[in-house]
Amino acid sequence: MVESTAPSPSPLPTPVPATGSGAMSERARARRELILLLLRRRAFLIGVVVLVIWVVCAVLGERITPYDPFNAFFLPGHQPPSPAHLFGTDRLGRDVLSRVMVGSRDVLIVAPLAALLGVGVGTLLGLVMGYYRGIVDDILSRVVEAFLALPVILVALLTLVVLGSSSVVVVFVVGVLFAPIVARTVRSAVLSERQLDYVTAAKLRGETGLFILSREIFPNVLGPTVVEMTVRFGYAIFTVATLSFLGVGLQPPSPDWGLTVSQEYANMIAGIWWPTLFPALAIASTVIAINLIADSLQSVLNE
Amino acid sequence: MTLTAPPPQDTALKAALRVEDLALSYVVRGIPRPVLRGVTFEIRPGESYGLVGESGCGKSTTAYAAVRYLPRNAVITGGRILVSGDDVTKMNDEQVRQFRMHHVSMVYQDPGAALNPTTKVGPQVAEAFAVLGQPRKEAEASAIKALQRVQIADPERVYQRYPHQLSGGMQQRAVIAMALASDPKLLVLDEPTTGLDATVEASVLDLVRSLQAETNAAVLLIAHNLGVIRTICDRVGVMYAGKIVEEGDAAAVFERPQHPYTLGLLRSLPRHGIRKSQRPLATIPGSLPQIGADLPACVFVDRCPLATEICRTVDPPNVDLGGGRTSRCHHIDRLGELTEPPASAGQDTAHGELTLSLSNVSKTFRQSGHDVPALVKVDLDMFDGETLGLVGESGSGKSTLAKTILGIETPDVGGELELDDHRLNPKSMERPTEDKRSIQMVFQNPESALNRGWTARQILSRSVSKLTGLKGKAVGERVDKLAASLRLSQRHLDLKPRQLSGGLKQRVAIARAFAGDPRIVVADEPTSALDVSVQAAILNLLSDLQSENKTSYLLISHDLGVVRYLADRIAVMYLGRIMEVGESENVFRGPNHPYTEALLSAIPNVDGAATARIRLEGEIPSPANPPSGCVFHTRCHRFIKNLCEVTEPPLIEVEPGHLMKCHIPVDELRRLQAKARQEDVVLTTPPEALEAAAAIAADNPG
Amino acid sequence: MVRFIARRLLLAVITLWLLATIVFVITNVLPNNVGRTILGPFAPEETVNALNERLGTNRPILVRYVDSLRGLVTLDFGNSFVSGKAVLPQVVGAVGRSAKLAGLALLITIPISIAAGLYAARRRDRFADRAIVLLGVTLSSIPEFVTGTILVVVVGVGLRWLPVLATAPDNADVLTQIRFLLMPAIAMAIVYFGYIARMTRAGTIEVLQSDYTRTALMKGLTTGQTMRRHVVRNALVPTVAVIAVQIGYLFGGIIAVEKIFNYNGMGSTMLFAAQHKDLPMLTAGVIIIGIVYMLATLAADLIMAWMNPRIRLDAER
C-alpha cells in the first residue's frame, strides 16, 4: 500500500530517438509516433471502430440499409425484432435498423460543424485573451463567464424559438455556446506558455504580438486544443440529440436518433421498447466512442 | 569545515546505516532500467556522510531506498539495506511504518512543499510527536520545545502560522524539528538547502551540525553542491551512474581526489579563486550517460582520459587507499597524467570605453495597494569587454535590474539608461533594431528558453534575420558561424530542444543571444540549471566569446565561485540598492561592506576556506517594507545604534573603482575584518539590530 | 477574505448584467418578428402589427433594453404570452420542483462519485482505477434522456421496481415522493458521476504525489491517517468547483428527464413555453437558471477561498 502513494513512476526521460537524418521530416515522424502510441490503446481502437461504423452509415446511407428508412412497409407497426427486422419496426412500420443507420447522418453533420464553429471561435478568443491579458482579457473573461452561466439547452430552446428550428440555427447556437468553454481551456494553456522564457526572447528581438501568438505559442497549445475539440464534438452530439429529443432540433420525417426517441418513448410503457432503445443506444455508443478517443488523445499527449 | 570529533572506534557498535551492494532498477514500459548498480557504503552513529554526484547518478534514489519510499515501478534487484542491523528491504508495510516512526527521519528539498498548506505549522510538528504515542496536550508542548530547539525565536507564534506565512529558512527549521521528534538513529537530508538564500543556508547548515552533535544521529546528506558536503560531512561518497566511484574523508577527497571522475569534477569547478585570465576550466569530455542505459564494466570509461580496454570488460576493483579511503579504478597510479589545462595568454582585462550607464534608476511595483520598491536609485556603469558580476539574495533586485536594462521592465520616472552616447528607450519594443541587437539575454533555464517546437537551426536563423536584417544564404552562413563558435555540429542544428542535453540547449541559447553581435549580454544564472561537469564548458565558451567579440556581460549568479572566475567587476545588491561595487580582486580581498562580508562567509566553499564566521540572524526584510536609514541595519553584525537606523550611509571609496555605502570608516572596517578572520569567533547580528527589526515589523504588520 | 468576497460579488453583479444583456440580444436583436412568431405564418399582416404594438416590440432598442434591465432589478419578468399571468411566480414554483429532483440527484451522486474518485486514485493504474475511469467516461457520455429511457425500460417496465412517472400523488409524504423521484434522479446522477469522480480522482492523485503527503508518510502515519488528515481536504478543492459547474448543466439536462418521466418541473414548463412561443416565460427561465448557476459558482469560490489559508487570511508574505 505504501508504494501506491509514492511519486509517479518513471523519472526517466523518454528515450531520445536516434537522429539519423532520414528522409522523413521531423513533424511527420512525430505524427507517426503519436499514431502508433494511440493505436496501442484499446480504448482508442474501440472508439475509432465505432465511430467509423457510424460514419460509413452516414455516408453510404440508403445504399446499405436493408430497407428504405422512409417508406412504411405497410405492415402493422411495432413488430418486435425478428430475423427479418433485426431491430423491429416502428409505429409506422418502418424498419428501425435502417432508420438507425441513416439517422447517423444528420447528427454527424450538424454536430461536427457546431463543434468546429465553437472550437474555431473559442480558440481565437482564448489566444487573444491569454496573450494580451490586461483590459481585453478582463472584459472578455466577464463575457465568457456570462456565457458559461447560461444553461445551454435552455438558451438553445430560446434561440430556436426566436429564430425557428433549422439545422443552421442549431449549428450556430451550439457552436456559439461552446466557444466560451474552449476559450477558457485555450486561454489557460496560453497563459502557461506565455510565462516561458522563449516568449521573452522573442520579444527581445522585436517580434510582433501576432508573430509570437501564431508561430511561437499556438503550435505549442495545439495539443490541448485538439483534445478539447474532440471533447466538444462529443458534447455537440449530446446536445444536438437532446435538442432533437425535445422537438426543437431536426424535424420529422428525419430519422434522427433523438427525434425518434422522442416520438416513440411513450410506447415504452406498453412494452414496445425497441424503437426507443436502439436509437438511444446509437447515441450512447457514438458519444462514448468519441469520449474514448478524446481520453486516449489526452493521455498520449500528456506522456 | 567538518566536525573534528572522530567517529567512535567501538566496532561492536552497529553501523547506523549499511548499504550492501544495492542494485535497483526502474521498470519503464516493461523494460527494467538499472539505476543503482551495486552501491556499498556505511555510516556509523554520530557520523555524517555525504553522497554527491550529478543528475542521474542515483544519490536521491539511494536515499529514498533507505527509507523505502520508492515508486511502484522501482525494483530492488540485489543487495541489502541495513539500518542498525535490520534489513529494510525485507520489511512489510507495517514494519516500514514503524521503522519510519522510530528509526529514520527525513528532511527535504523544498520545505514549503513539504508542509501541508492548509494546516497550521504547529499541529504538523505536533503530529510527529503524537504518532509516537504522546497525548495531544503533551505533543503540543513537545512541538513548541522542538521549534525552540531549531532556533526559532518565537515558537508560540510560529506554531499558529500557516506554512506560506513563513520564510524558506523558517519552513526548513520546522521540517527539521519534525524530523528530530523521534530522535532518529538515521537522519536523511535530501538537498536541504537548495533554493534557500545563501545567508539563510549558512544558518540552516550550522543548525544541522549542532543538532547532530547533540543527538549523535547518523546523517546521510544528499547534495550536488560540493561546498555543502564539505561544510557538513565527515565522509563523502562520489557517485557516478549508480556506483560509488570514490569514498573517504571529505576534506581529503576534495583536496586530493583519487579517481579520474572526482578529479575532473573538482578541476571543473572554479576553485581557489582562479580567474578566467589565468586558465580555462578543465572539462570532462562527453556527457552524462542516459539513466538506465547499459554501461560497460567501469561506468566512467566513455569519458575517462585514462581508459584502456580492461576498463570496459573488467569491473574496476575497489582499491583501499588507507585511512578509510577507497577508489574504484584500474589506473589510480596513472592519475598524475591528468594535468590541468594550460594557462591562457593573459587576457586583456583592462576595460575599454564606457558602454552602458544607468543613473538614478528606480523601479517600483504596485502590488495589491502597496508600493514595492524593487530598485532604489541605482547608478551603475558597464564598460566594453568586461564582465560585471551582480550578486545578491532574494529581494535584492538583481533580476529587476537585468529586466530594466533589457527593457522588459520600465524604470520609474527620473531614471536614465544610456548606451554609448544615446539614451536608451526604456521599453524594449520601442527601441531601434540597432539597440535591440546590442543588448541580449541568456536565461537561466534552457528548457523554457527555447521554443520546443522549433529546431535549433530555426531558432538561430530567426534571430539572425530579425536582428541583423540579413537575408537568404547570408543567414545560413551566419548561423553556421555561430554554431561553430559554440561548438555545435550541423547535426545538432537540426534537432529540437528536447533532443538536446541541458548543456547543448544552453549553447543554442547563447548562440541566439550572439546572433546580432551584441555589445552587452545579460546572463541570468547561465549555469545554475546545469550539471557541474557541463558548467565548466559553458563558462569557458562564455569567456572565449567575450575575448573574441569584446562583449560585455552582466552576469547574475548566486555562485560566488563562478562570479569570481568570470567577473572583472562585482556589484553586491541588497533590497534594491547597490551596497558595494568594485574590481573583483579588490572586492574579494576586502575590506568589504558588512553584507558582502557576511555573504562571503556564508557561501559553503568546497575548499573549506578560512573566512571569518558570520551568521546573520533575522530574515531578509520584505522589499515592500524596507528598514529606515541603512536598509541592512536590521541584520548587520556591525550595527551601530542611533546611527545606522537613522541615516542612510554615505558612499565611501575604499580604493579607486571600489565603492561602498557604510557608516564605518574604511580603515576601521579593514582592521575589524582582519581581526575577525584571525579569531575563531562567530559574529552575529547584535540584539539591538534585531530589536530595530522587530520595531519595524510592529509598525507595519503583514 | 473580506476583500476577496467584495471583489467576487462585484464580478458576479457584472456577470449578471452581461447575462441579461445576452438574453436581451437573443430575444430582441436577432432578426425575428414576435407577433409573427406567435400568430404563425398565416395570420394577416395587420393583426401581426397590432399584436406587436400591444406587446411593445416595436419600440426603439434602447428603450426596450432599459426596460428589460429594470424588469430584472425589480424581478418583474412580464406576463406570459399564453396565460397572461405574471411569469415569475410560475417559474419560481417550477424551479422549486425541479430543485427537489436535482437535489435528490446530487445527494445520490456526490457521495458515491467522491468515494469512487478517492478509491480510484488510491489504486492508480490498477484494474479498479481503470475500470472506474472507463465507467466514468462512458456514463458521462450518455445523454440523460438515454439513461432515463433505458432505466424506464429495464427498471420501470421490465422489473417493475419503481414507478415510471415521477409525479407523486398530492400530499404524499417525503418517503413516497422520493420513491417517485428516484428513477429520474438516478438517471441524472449517472451522468454526473463521471465528471465528479474523475475530478476527485485527479485532485487526489495530485495530492498523493505531493511532497507533504510524503512528509506525512515519513512521519510514520498510516495511509488511512494520511488520507484523512492530509489528503482529502486538499484533494476535494477542485471537486467543489466541478460540482458547482454541474449545477448549471443539471438544470439543462433536467428538461429531457422531466419530459420522459412526465414531471412538472422547470423543464416541462420551459418546454411548454417553447412549444407555445412564450418568450417571457423562456426568458425568465434562462435568467433564473443563470442566476442559480452564478450563485452556485459563487458559493463554490467562497468555499474554496475559505479552505485556502492564503486567501482566507489575506496575508501578504
pTM, full prediction: 0.86
Whether chain B has a CB inside 8 Å of the CB on C224: the answer is no
Mean of all residue pLDDT scores within chain B? 88
Q: How confident is the model at residue A217 (pLDDT cuts 50, 70, 90)?
A: very high
Cβ separation C216–B118 shorter than 8 A? no
- In one-letter notation, the amino acid at residue B499 is Q
- Helix (H) or strand (E) holding B186, with range, is strand B186-190
Q: Residue B642: what pLDDT?
A: 86
Whether chain B has a CB inside 8 Å of the CB on C307: the answer is yes
* Cβ-Cβ contacts under 8 Å, A43 against chain C: 134
Whether chain C has a CB inside 8 Å of the CB on B101: the answer is yes
Higher pLDDT: B133 or A266? It is B133
Does the pLDDT at position B701 exceed 60? no
DSSP states along B269-294:
S--TT--TTT-PPP--SS-PPPTT--
pLDDT (average), residues B484-512: 92
pLDDT one-digit tens code per residue, B559-604: 888 999 999 999 999 999 999 999 998 998 878 899 999 988 888 8
pLDDT one-digit tens code per residue, B131-158: 998 999 999 999 999 999 998 888 999 9
Dihedral sign (CA B676, B196, B283, B240): positive
CB hemisphere CA count around B672 (13 angstroms): 15
Whether the CB-CB separation of B327 and B245 falls below 8 Å is answered with yes
Cβ separation C23–A158 shorter than 8 A? yes
* Cβ-Cβ contacts under 8 Å, B69 against chain A: 2, 6
**Which residue in chain A has the smallest CA separation from C211?**
A7
**Which residue in chain B has the smallest CA separation from C237?**
B118
Higher pLDDT: A5 or B76? It is B76
CA distance A143 to C294: 13
Mean of all residue pLDDT scores within chain A? 81
* Cβ-Cβ contacts under 8 Å, C208 against chain A: 4-5
Q: Residue A17: what pLDDT?
A: 39
Cβ separation B451–A4 shorter than 8 A? no
Kind of pairing between the strands at B74-83 and B86-87: antiparallel
3-state per-residue secondary structure call for C267-288: HHHHHHHHHCCCHHHHHHHHHH
Closest among B18, B15, B56, B50 to B37, alpha carbons compared: B56
* Chain A contacts in chain C segment 259-288 (CB below 8 A): 259-260, 270-271, 274-275, 277, 279, 282-283, 285-286
Q: Residue C108: what pLDDT?
A: 92
Whether chain C has a CB inside 8 Å of the CB on A247: the answer is yes
Write the residue in B97, B119, B367 that is nearest to C220 by C-beta: B97
Whether chain A has a CB inside 8 Å of the CB on C134: the answer is yes
- Helix (H) or strand (E) holding B593, with range, is none
CA distance C153 to chain A (A): 7
pLDDT one-digit tens code per residue, C187-232: 889 888 988 998 899 899 999 989 999 999 999 899 888 988 899 8
Higher pLDDT: B305 or B349? It is B305
Cβ separation B113–C211 shorter than 8 A? yes
- Helix (H) or strand (E) holding B342, with range, is none
Q: CA angle B277-B283-B287, nearest 5°? A: 150
Please give the backbone phi and psi of residue B288, each rounded to the nearest 5 degrees, phi first: -60, 140
- B241's CB contacts (< 8 A; 6+ apart) are B37, B56, B57, B58, B288, B289, B295, B299, B300
Q: Residue B356: what pLDDT?
A: 92
Cβ separation C230–B119 shorter than 8 A? yes
Cβ separation C149–A276 shorter than 8 A? yes
| Neighbouring C-beta atoms of residue B694, cutoff 10 Å | 14
Cβ separation B443–A207 shorter than 8 A? no
pLDDT one-digit tens code per residue, B208-229: 988 888 888 899 999 988 889 9
CB hemisphere CA count around B258 (13 angstroms): 25
Q: Residue A18: what pLDDT?
A: 41
pLDDT one-digit tens code per residue, B254-265: 999 999 999 999
Q: Which single residue is written with the C-alpha cell 558536503?
A: B229
Whether chain B has a CB inside 8 Å of the CB on C2: the answer is no
pLDDT one-digit tens code per residue, C139-166: 888 888 888 887 877 777 667 777 667 6
Write the residue in C214, C233, C317 that is nearest to B164 by C-beta: C317
- Helix (H) or strand (E) holding B20, with range, is strand B17-28
Q: Where are the beta strands (DSSP E) in B395-542?
A: 416-419, 422-423, 439-442, 520-524
Does the pLDDT at position B344 exceed 90? no
* Cβ-Cβ contacts under 8 Å, B368 against chain C: 316
DSSP states along B142-160:
HHHHHHHHTT-S-HHHHHT
CA distance B92 to B85: 16
CA distance B209 to B176: 12
Task: Look up residue B33 and give its DSSP letter.
Answer: E
Instruction: From residue B316, give the alpha-carbon distance in Å to each of A84, B152, B264.
Output: 80, 48, 18
* Cβ-Cβ contacts under 8 Å, B67 against chain C: 218
Q: Residue A8: what pLDDT?
A: 42
**Which residue in chain B has the smallest CA separation from A7?**
B71
Q: Residue B346: what pLDDT?
A: 60
Give chain A's largest Cα–Cα span. Answer: 77
Task: Look up residue A250 and give its DSSP letter.
Answer: S
Whether the CB-CB separation of B202 and B601 falls below 8 Å is answered with yes
Whether chain B has a CB inside 8 Å of the CB on A11: the answer is yes
* Cβ-Cβ contacts under 8 Å, A152 against chain C: 249, 252
Cβ separation B71–A6 shorter than 8 A? yes
Whether the CB-CB separation of B392 and B418 falls below 8 Å is answered with no
Does the pLDDT at position A224 exceed 80? yes
Whether chain B has a CB inside 8 Å of the CB on A20: the answer is no
Cβ separation C316–B624 shorter than 8 A? yes
CA distance C231 to chain B (A): 9
Kind of pairing between the strands at B658-661 and B651-655: antiparallel
Beta bridge partners of B570: B389, B582
Cβ separation A198–B451 shorter than 8 A? yes
pLDDT (average), residues B161-190: 92
Whether chain B has a CB inside 8 Å of the CB on C222: the answer is yes
pLDDT (average), residues B76-90: 87
* Cβ-Cβ contacts under 8 Å, B624 against chain C: 316
Cβ separation C286–A295 shorter than 8 A? no
Task: Look up residue B590 and give its DSSP letter.
Answer: S
Give chain C's largest Cα–Cα span. Answer: 85
Q: Grid coordinates in use for B610?
A: 578560512
Q: How confident is the model at residue B347 (pLDDT cuts 50, 70, 90)?
A: low
Write the residue in C150, C214, C252 that is nearest to A153 by C-beta: C252
Cβ separation B127–C215 shorter than 8 A? no
Cβ separation B108–C229 shorter than 8 A? no
Whether chain C has a CB inside 8 Å of the CB on A49: the answer is no
CB hemisphere CA count around C19 (13 angstroms): 29
Higher pLDDT: B521 or B293? It is B521
Cβ separation C217–B164 shorter than 8 A? no
Q: How confident is the model at residue B10 (pLDDT cuts 50, 70, 90)?
A: very low
CB pairs under 8 A between A and B: 99
Mutation pick from A5, A40, A197 vs chain B, by most beta carbons of B within 10 Å, is: A197
Q: How confident is the model at residue A273 (pLDDT cuts 50, 70, 90)?
A: confident
Does the pLDDT at position B349 exceed 70? no
Q: Residue C238: what pLDDT?
A: 85
Whether chain B has a CB inside 8 Å of the CB on A209: the answer is no
Instruction: From residue C55, give the alpha-carbon distance in Å to each of B136, C63, C96, C286.
Output: 72, 13, 29, 20
Give chain B's largest Cα–Cα span. Answer: 78
Whether chain A has a CB inside 8 Å of the CB on C149: the answer is yes
Write the residue in C212, C219, C310 that is nearest to B164 by C-beta: C310
The 3-state DSSP class for residue A25 equals: coil
Does the pLDDT at position C258 exceed 90? no
Cβ separation C317–B178 shorter than 8 A? no
Does the pLDDT at position A4 exceed 60? no
Cβ separation C215–B108 shorter than 8 A? yes
pLDDT one-digit tens code per residue, A243-260: 888 888 777 777 888 888
Q: Grid coordinates in use for C82?
A: 399564453
CA distance A71 to chain C (A): 26
Whether the CB-CB separation of B130 and B212 falls below 8 Å is answered with no
Instruction: From residue B17, give the alpha-carbon distance in Å to each of B48, B58, B236, C303.
Output: 11, 17, 14, 47
Span of A260-274, B107-121, B420-434, C118-132 with lowest mean pLDDT: A260-274
Q: Which chains touch C (3 or more CB pairs under 8 A)?
A: A, B
DSSP states along B201-261:
HHHHHHHHHHHHHHH--EEEEEES-HHHHHHH-SEEEEEETTEEEEEEEHHHHHHS--SHH
Span of A108-122, B63-77, C165-179, C219-233 with lowest mean pLDDT: C165-179
Higher pLDDT: A74 or A96? It is A96
Instruction: From residue B71, give the alpha-carbon distance in Å to each of A3, A4, A70, B28.
Output: 6, 7, 60, 12
Supply the Cα-derived Rg of chain C in whole angstroms.
24
Cβ separation B448–A196 shorter than 8 A? yes
Cβ separation C30–A159 shorter than 8 A? yes
Cβ separation A155–C123 shorter than 8 A? no
CA distance C170 to chain A (A): 23
Q: In chain A, pLDDT over 70 holds for what percent of residues?
A: 89
